[in-house]
Amino acid sequence: MSRLSDHMIASAILALALLVTACAGGDDVQPAAGSKQVTFKVRLDGIDSRALSDGSQATRLEAVAYDASGKAVQVRSGLMTDLQGSVTFNLVEGVTYRFAFWAQSPSATCYTLSNDYTAVAVDYSGTANDDSRDAFFQHIDSYTVGASTAMQAVTLVRPLAQVDFVVAPDEWERVVRSTSPVTATGFTLPAGLYTRLNLLTGEVSAPTSQPVSLASAPVPTVSTLQPDGSYRHTPMLVLDGSQYVWLSMGYVLAPPAPSTSMLSQVALAMTSGTAKAITTIAVPSVPYKRNRRTVIVLSQLASKLQAGAPQVNETSSNIR
């Protein structure tokens, strides 16, 4: 009698353990009766194919299926390779679901997925020039599962805007050859930056009440002196057929397209190799837009640095 009881108890514990494991993993051990497989082929829409903003950092994929009320019913994780990946859900035939997809760098600590899988929180603390903050998102409002296995394509875009400070190569070389070359940059953004993305709708909320400072970090473009005395700059940003040196860059959570928002002022801080502050360049009224980059081309930078002013102004900024 005791042996049978022990056996029954052990079997019950094992069954419970298997159930807990199946729920925690997010993958069905065996598809439920009447369920159909729905596979999403996911691709990332990169801004360009160069060393920055090419989407290659965002290799961790999270996908969520929700019921009609917006409650998460299945969560899938995947791996993005060469900007592509896939996830498969086992869903009930005839039922309509909602979906959200989120891709980011595995090393990024600035994004937090909410416990109910309906939102992503953005933390702006950290440094400028950090491409691991690159991230992608998409949502599907309504999808009804059919009678057979299905495959759907979905393209993820950045819910972010990228803010870039750049300078022409010849102008940058004059800076590099100066007695106090710029080796690191950071910048300050105004209050009002959005910190929460709704995965079900794509809307943003929870603006910051204080300005945000992205700490100084090495200049993204590396300038290497060549045997002939010239410099080789990598990576470069190409705009309208012309190449520019990247001085600084950062990402900002942006409202859904096609709306364009405005930063009241962005201030670029430049330092030398001794961490000595050289100058700050303030740019008023900077526009930004989801999945686009705002480019601020600095003019006569060497002259401005030589003037030694603690702050100078720049007025040119354009969405690309």
DSSP per residue over 232-267, as a string?
A: EEESEEEETTEEEEEEEEEEEE-PSTT--EEEEEEE
CA distance 200 to 179: 53
Q: Which residue do the tokens 């100066």 mark?
A: 178
Q: Which amino acid is at 103?
A: A
Sign of the C-alpha dihedral, residues 217, 221, 224, 230?
negative
Return the residue matching tokens 């995947």: 78
Q: Which long-range contacts (CB under 8 A, 24 or more apart) does 220-228 make?
A: 220/52, 220/129, 220/131, 220/246, 220/247, 220/248, 220/249, 221/172, 221/245, 221/246, 221/247, 223/172, 223/173, 223/176
pLDDT at 300: 83
pLDDT at residue 238, rounded to an integer: 86
Q: Are 158 and 290 in contact (CB under 8 A)?
A: yes
Q: How much is the pLDDT for 310?
A: 59
CA atoms within 13 A on the CB side of 299: 6
What confidence score (pLDDT) does residue 9 get? 36
Q: Along the 320 residues of the chain, how does pLDDT read in single tens digits?
A: 333 334 333 333 333 333 333 333 344 434 455 789 999 999 998 655 445 678 899 999 999 999 999 999 999 999 999 999 999 999 999 999 999 999 999 999 999 999 999 999 999 999 999 999 999 999 999 999 999 889 999 999 999 999 999 999 999 998 888 867 889 999 999 999 999 999 999 999 999 999 999 999 999 998 898 999 889 998 888 888 889 999 999 999 999 988 899 999 999 998 886 667 778 889 999 999 999 999 999 888 887 776 665 566 666 667 77
pLDDT score for 272: 82
pLDDT reported for residue 309: 58
Task: List CB contacts of 119: < 8 A, sequence separation 6 or more.
Answer: 113, 196, 197, 198, 199
Distance CA 10, CA 106 (A): 39
Match 């056996």 to its residue by tokens.
Answer: 7
Cα dihedral across residues 265, 288, 60, 116: positive or negative: positive
Task: Give me the pLDDT at residue 33, please.
Answer: 58
